[in-house]
Amino acid sequence: MGENIWYKMKASEIIALLPYQRPFLFVDDIDSITENKIIGHYTFKNDEFFYEGHFKDNPITPGVILTECMAQIGLVCLGIYLVKDELKKSQKPQIVLTSHQMDFYLPVLPGEKVQVHSEKEVFRFNKLKCNVKMLNEDGDLVARGLISGMLNV
């Protein structure tokens, strides 16, 4: 874990506060986090529920799932970190995705690990807007875009 973080909240604590569970949790760990950015990762398992039908005999991770992964790491985890001082013990904040604009460049196949980088653009009145990008294990750009959402604590 990063040296300049985790002084108030550990990655495991942030992940425990996420309002998701398997099979719709797309965060394995947080690599680093500050008030302005987050880096986290997820490995798409070979038996993910969506591979059975997308596509027949040629499984590829759907773009909506890649967007969800970027939102969970890049918006929700960062948002929880930003409102950590407002949270009561074990309180799970409600977070609503309000908009996203995403461009996709490479497919993500079963078994691939991706890393999400997100930088805060604006956080005001509990609305968070972030520039996000997803890289594959080779460091190639998979997708990038802008995601925003509202946090309710």
Residue 54 is a catalytic residue:
yes
Which helix (H) or strand (E) element contains residue 14? helix 11-16
Among residues 41, 54, 100, 117, which one is catalytic?
Answer: 54
Q: Which amino acid is at 143?
A: A
The rounded distance, in Å, linking the Cα atoms of 79 and 14 is 10
| DSSP of 25-67 | ----EEEEE-SSEEEEEEE--TT-GGGGTSSTTS----HHHHH
Which residues carry out catalysis? 54
